[in-house]
A = this chain, B = another copy of it.
Amino acid sequence: MSERKGACIIGQSGGPTAVINASAQGAIQAALKAGCITRVLGAAHGIKGVLDDKLYDMDQEDASELGLLKNTPSSALGSCRYKLADPDQDDTDYRRILEIFKKYDVRYFFYNGGNDSMDTCNKISKYMQKIGYECRIMGIPKTIDNDLNGTDHCPGFASAAKYISTSCMEVWQDAHVYDTGMITIIEIMGRHAGWLAGASALATWAGFGPDLIYLPEVDFDMEQFLADVTAIYHRTGKCMVAVSEGIHYADGTFVSEAKASATDGFGHAQLGGLAATLAEIVKQKTRAKVRGIELSLLQRCGAHLASETDIEEAYRAGQAAVEAAVSGMTDKMVAFRCTRDDKGYFCETILEPLDVAANAEKKVPRAWINAAGNGVEQPFIDYVLPLIQGEPELPREHSLPRFAKLKKVLATAN
């Protein structure tokens, strides 16, 4: 145990989730408790807040408001999508970060985000090591896309999965109410990995869900898709389809960006996104009533449908990052190692080198997708089901969410 006194910075980065603030809460509360951490600073809009010297003094926040972070979706400190340059090419940002770290005597840096954010975190860590500035740097995983390498799953994924599967079950009920034909196409986030689209299979598993699911792990074939949909529609009068926004043709072109194709002959303005485009194509093919539904931002900020398991794990990830750093660790990302067997689901936090997460995207294994490429298999269900368990006790006022309201007092150097 090597004690190092100093301030810490906690930053949130990338797209928000329903539980990223639970990780912030875990990290902030652990840091406020840690004797060696002299000051807890929150970065306004991630690394941009460091570069702009916009840091919030978390010690000045009310404990009760910090307590509400657990059920407040999105990034309470603000987020960013800011790519740091290769320090060998341009070290301007790194020198500025160092300057701020020195100004506030920052010796702990916690960065919560997905692939790009772990890349940022990794670069800062390596830079500080190289120039010999002692700072313990830890990544905290986060992404609804669930595509971070080195961890069983990512905080944020499960709550989005629960939102998606519950919403699919409800829409299924709605889409089956008339005795007339109806095709429903639901567009789900996930540009490069199909974890979220696949999670819609939980709805089917529970009795009311998509008949067909298309993931970006399998090349999309418009002819086959239309044949799949038409076959089910003609047999049952209904068809519900879940598609990942990231589905693409064999040549890599996203279906959402393809204006027309030689095979389908349709050319459509992309005004309404993928669901609307596919709905129009299916409508022209089948002459059925077709409705495209894009779950849009709703799926990643739906705190009211969060998984309690996800919230608790997100909290623990933030807490574990601080505890590991306090105990002397650096240059790591907190990750989950999980077992799922007869005894149930068990999840422990471990540490992985930051490089592991920063440099790869984890896809849905091909073996978990059915042979036809239009659904997922039981191992996928077994993987995701334990993650969505549990309902949080949501703070409410007048039956509306009571989200955290932070003071966000700007810090000045001591």
Residue ranges of A at the interface with B (Cβ–Cβ < 8 Å): 16, 44-45, 48, 72-75, 78-81, 162, 165-167, 169-171, 173-179, 184, 202-203, 206-208, 268-273, 276-277, 280, 291-298, 300-305, 307, 385, 388-391, 396-401, 403, 405
A73 to B73, CA, bound (A): 25
Return A313 CB to nearest CB of chain B, in Å.
14
B78 near A170 with CB under 8 A, answer no
B171 near A298 with CB under 8 A, answer yes
B403 near A399 with CB under 8 A, answer no
Question: In the complex, what residues of B have CB within 8 A of residue A177's CB?
Answer: 16, 74-75, 78-79
Known: A165-B400, A291-B297, A388-B400. 8 other contacts (CB 8 A): A79-B178, A170-B303, A206-B398, A208-B403, A272-B292, A293-B294, A304-B304, A304-B305
B397 near A206 with CB under 8 A, answer yes
A397 to B175, CA, bound (A): 22
Q: Which of B81, B178, B202, B298 contacts A170 (CB 8 A)?
A: B298
B297 near A298 with CB under 8 A, answer no
A45 to B405, CA, bound (A): 47
A400 near B202 with CB under 8 A, answer yes
B276 near A178 with CB under 8 A, answer no
A291 near B280 with CB under 8 A, answer no
Contact sample, A vs B, 23 pairs, CB 8 Å cutoff: A45-B178, A48-B179, A73-B173, A74-B173, A75-B177, A78-B177, A78-B179, A167-B302, A170-B298, A170-B303, A174-B300, A174-B301, A206-B397, A206-B398, A207-B403, A208-B403, A272-B273, A272-B292, A293-B297, A294-B294, A298-B298, A385-B398, A388-B399
Question: In the complex, what residues of B have CB within 8 A of residue A276's CB?
Answer: 271-273, 276
Return A296 CB to nearest CB of chain B, in Å.
5
Question: In the complex, what residues of B have CB within 8 A of residue A398's CB?
Answer: 206, 385, 388-389
B268 near A166 with CB under 8 A, answer no
B48 near A16 with CB under 8 A, answer no
A169 to B280, CA, bound (A): 31
Question: In the complex, what residues of B have CB within 8 A of residue A74's CB?
Answer: 170, 173-174, 176-177
Q: Which of B44, B171, B401 contacts A301 (CB 8 A)?
A: B171
Q: Which of B80, B294, B297 contacts A178 (CB 8 A)?
A: B80
Q: Which of B271, B304, B389 contacts A271 (CB 8 A)?
A: B271
Question: In the complex, what residues of B have CB within 8 A of residue A166's CB?
Answer: 304, 400-401
Return A28 CB to nearest CB of chain B, in Å.
18
B175 near A81 with CB under 8 A, answer no
Question: In the complex, what residues of B have CB within 8 A of residue A296's CB?
Answer: 291, 293-294
Q: Which of B45, B75, B169, B178 contacts A400 (CB 8 A)?
A: B169
Question: In the complex, what residues of B have CB within 8 A of residue A401's CB?
Answer: 166, 169-170, 206
Q: Which of A81, A268, A272, A389 has the most CB of B within 10 A?
A: A272
Q: Smallest CB-CB separation from A173: which chain B residue?
A: B74
A179 near B80 with CB under 8 A, answer yes
Question: In the complex, what residues of B have CB within 8 A of residue A203's CB?
Answer: 400
Q: Smallest CB-CB separation from A171: which chain B residue?
A: B297
Q: Smallest CB-CB separation from A388: which chain B residue?
A: B399
A346 to B401, CA, bound (A): 24
Return A196 CB to nearest CB of chain B, in Å.
16
Question: In the complex, what residues of B have CB within 8 A of residue A301's CB?
Answer: 170-171, 173-174
A292 to B169, CA, bound (A): 24
Return A135 CB to nearest CB of chain B, in Å.
25
Question: In the complex, what residues of B have CB within 8 A of residue A388's CB?
Answer: 398-400
Q: Which of B271, B295, B403 contacts A280 (CB 8 A)?
A: B271
A226 to B170, CA, bound (A): 35
- Report, nearest first, the 4 A-B pairs whose CB atoms are least far apart: A272-B272, A74-B173, A272-B276, A174-B301
